[in-house]
Amino acid sequence: MVVFYAVAVELGLLPRAELERYGLDGAPLEAISTERTPLIDLNCGSLGQGLSGAIGLALAARFAREDRRTFAFLSDGELEEGQVWEAAMFAAHHRLGELTVLLDANNSQVDGTIASVTSLDPMADKWRAFGWHVHDVDGHDVAALVHALNDRVADRPVIVIARTDILGRLKSIPPTVDGHFVKLDPPLFQAVIAELEAAGA
């Protein structure tokens, strides 16, 4: 969610001051979205429900004859929920070309690496077999992401498998750190900032 909030601030959709309150008790910007989270149409408590909700939004737009796209953000860990695959079949069956999924494939979940829990590869082939139009890209390559997200197929939903590193390829963060729960103590915070500033120079 934190990346979503940062982008929303850059687009002028949220006041920058809200970022200073991120994660504090009572603040609207929470680590895991809830019904109070601004700018999100649908929040789901259990993993794996987002695609089903997005399908509902895409179907509603179709029935209302509204020419709009629906985007769902998923992670590879969520793909271990059976509901995702049921939803994937449903979306392809109903030829939901209005639907695009952006999948953060970072090979990480709370219980360990995806490969060590339940392997999902060949991931792209599975989505193709379900009837989806697939882009499999470097999730750190902004141009590749933009190209893939702009692609539409009239009669098939689109999935963009964005292969990412959960630590953002930052060398200042030790590889032993759990990417889901990075604690930025002052020395690590300064190291990360220095690396980001050097990369942007």
Residues 89-103: tens digit of each pLDDT: 999 999 999 999 999
- ω into residue 186 within 30 of 0, thus cis? no
Specify whether 31 is located in the same domain as 49. Answer: no
Q: Which residue's entry shows tokens 């969520």?
A: 78
**Residue 67 shares a structural domain with residue 9:** no
Mark whether 29 and 65 lie in a shared domain. no
For residue 201, the model assigns a pLDDT of 56
Indicate the pTM of the whole model: 0.81
pLDDT band at 53 (very low <50, low <70, confident <90, very high): very high
Same domain assignment for residues 57 and 90: yes
Question: Does position 171 have pLDDT exceeding 90, yes or no?
Answer: no
Same domain, 78 and 152: yes
**Distance between CA atoms of 128 and 159, rounded to whole angstroms?**
9
132 and 60 both lie in a single domain: yes
One domain for residues 57 and 7: no
Same domain, 90 and 153: yes
Same domain, 106 and 175: no
Q: Rounded CA gap, 138 and 157, in Å?
A: 20
Note whether 52 and 146 are same-domain residues.
Answer: yes
Closest CA to 123 of 78, 165, 92: 78
How many structural domains are present in the chain? Answer: 3
| Euclidean distance between CA atoms 1 and 48, whole angstroms | 16
Q: 191 and 179 in contact (C-beta within 8 Å)?
A: no
| pLDDT 10s digits, 24-47 | 888 888 877 777 888 887 777 667
Q: Are residues 148 and 92 in the same domain?
A: yes
CA distance 85 to 92: 11
The secondary structure of 56-91 as a DSSP string is HHHHHHHHTT----EEEEEEGGGGGSHHHHHHHHHH
Residue 127 in this model has a pLDDT that exceeds 60: yes
Q: What is the residue range of 120's domain?
A: 45-166
**What pLDDT, on a 0 to 100 scale, did the predictor assign at position 162?**
97
The answer to whether 9 touches 18, Cβ cutoff 8 Å, is: yes
Coil/strand/helix, residue 20: helix
CB of 179 closer than 8 Å to CB of 166: yes
